Amino acid sequence: MADKNNKSRKLFSPSINLNLNVRGLPQSATLTINEKSAELIRQGRKVIKLGLGQSPFPVPHSVIELLQENAFQKDYLPVMGLYALREAVAGFHHRGEGIPYRAEDVLIGPGSKELMFIVQLVYYGDLVIPTPSWVSYAPQARIIGRQIHWLQTSLANGLRLMPDEIERHCQKDPDRPRIIILNYPNNPSGCSYKTEELKAIARVARKYRLILLSDEIYGELHHKGQHVSIARFYPEGTIISSGLSKWCGAGGWRLGTFIFPESLHWLRDAMAVVASETFTATSAPIQYAAVRAFQGGEDIEQYLFHARRVLRVLGRFISKRLQKIGVAVPEPDGAFYLFANFNAFRSELQSRGIRDSESLCAKLLEDTGVAILPGNVFGRPEEELSARLAYVDFDGSKALAASEKIPAGRQLDIDFLKENCPKMVEAAERICDWMG
């Protein structure tokens, strides 16, 4: 009997049966910190949740209405997506970038994350990403078995990827197939690119025929509403990735979009094959509702105006507050993230047993209840004392309503934040006090 048990234990052991690319891989850090924070709250702890990057704002009313009206839609939709939605997404990017996209250029998926996985699966090339980068690009490449190359950025350049860095990497093996991911406004730093920088990156991408996956999921959350896509300068090699999750406050709805130039329709078609054999099609009612979001209109513009205005003042306030005590943190241009470097505090932190970003965040959570994510999950060196703060733990409906009462020409101020985003102000103070 004992023998038999041993044998079955062996048969079902993860070290024998798990795919080597998945073995030892932890669950995604963004989702894990969210679940851990929720668990601590269940246990009665007060936690300020700056871990998961989830929009604090509600889904715009008109989009919710359309979802309600379409709850009855029960049929499987085409693999590439509802035609009306593909048209709306093409129109959205056409309006934004002036590129004459068509519905045929669009692929809809259950979240842009899934589409990113599939594009890496079907395209046989290395993944090239800057450090820091969003937590899931590299694990996806690892699961598929692709090589990953991290390119350096610097605080002096606001953690943005510089074209020389791409050039240096590509010239070592010019013909190698590669996907490069450029994400702006950026997760985890909030930084974006100037037009001249985008043009310079586009020149290198064209020279080495890179597939440029331009992750613009935060594009509409550029704090000044000035997002520009690199697709304008490298249209033939750029896929723009977007979705409802961030600017439309609908992360849990799971709807992502890719738009391709005609020259990359073969990639779209290959992705559709995988889609047809895996997720089949994206949820029908969600797709019908998303048409409204991508068509836009005055109410969506107003919603975005106020969301940006709140995020802008919040990002400025927290980054300035941290800078004041000596934390190195670039002021964000968009999205709802800050990437902070606490290396200046290394010796004090070391005396408290903190030697790396993991222990920094674990101890901060334990001592102050502020949950943030360690820099190492964004591809930073283990020992760097860096972390991402997602400034999203506030009542977005309340903040939007309060912003609506303030004239458009006026900036929001600290009193607004104390009233409408009190936990964010408290989190900044707690972090600064804790640093000593």
Residue holding tokens 């591809």? 379
The nearest distance, CB 43 to ligand GLU, in angstroms, is: 23
The nearest distance, CB 67 to ligand GLU, in angstroms, is: 20
The nearest distance, CB 246 to ligand GLU, in angstroms, is: 8
The nearest distance, CB 309 to ligand GLU, in angstroms, is: 22
Residue number with CB closer to ligand GLU (228 or 390): 390
β-bridge mates for residue 350, sequence order = none
Contacts with 378 (C-beta within 8 Å, 6 or more apart), sequence order: 131, 132, 133, 134, 135, 188, 339, 386, 388
The nearest distance, CB 249 to ligand GLU, in angstroms, is: 13
Residue number with CB closer to ligand GLU (92 or 117): 117
Across the beta sheet with 337-341, what order do the strands follow? 337-341, 386-390, 373-374
- Rounded to 5°, the CA angle 180-116-122 comes to 85
The nearest distance, CB 113 to ligand GLU, in angstroms, is: 5
Residue number with CB closer to ligand GLU (51 or 330): 51
Residue number with CB closer to ligand GLU (261 or 396): 396
The nearest distance, CB 33 to ligand GLU, in angstroms, is: 8
Helix axes 357-368, 422-435, angle to 10 degrees: 120
Look up residue 434 and give its two tokens.
């804790």
Element of type H or E holding 181: strand 178-183
Rounded Cα gap, residues 353 and 350, in angstroms? 5
Residues in touch with ligand GLU (CB under 6 A): 28, 30, 52-53, 113, 134, 136, 187, 390
Residue number with CB closer to ligand GLU (113 or 146): 113
In 3-state terms the chain splits into helix, strand, coil percentages (rounded to 5) of: 50, 10, 35
How many alpha carbons fall within 13 Å on the CB side of residue 15? 2
Residue number with CB closer to ligand GLU (349 or 371): 371
| Residues 132, 379 contacting (CB under 8 angstroms) | yes
Residue number with CB closer to ligand GLU (134 or 184): 134
Look up residue 312 and give its two tokens.
């802008």
The nearest distance, CB 135 to ligand GLU, in angstroms, is: 6
Residue number with CB closer to ligand GLU (101 or 134): 134
Q: Which residue is nearest to ligand GLU (CB)?
A: 53
Helix axes 284-295, 83-97, angle to 10 degrees: 30
Residue number with CB closer to ligand GLU (30 or 319): 30
DSSP state of 73: -
The nearest distance, CB 251 to ligand GLU, in angstroms, is: 6
Q: Which residues of 127-165 are buried (b: 16+ CB within 10 A; e: fewer)?
A: bbbbbbbbbbbbbbbebbebebbbbebeeeebbbbbbeb
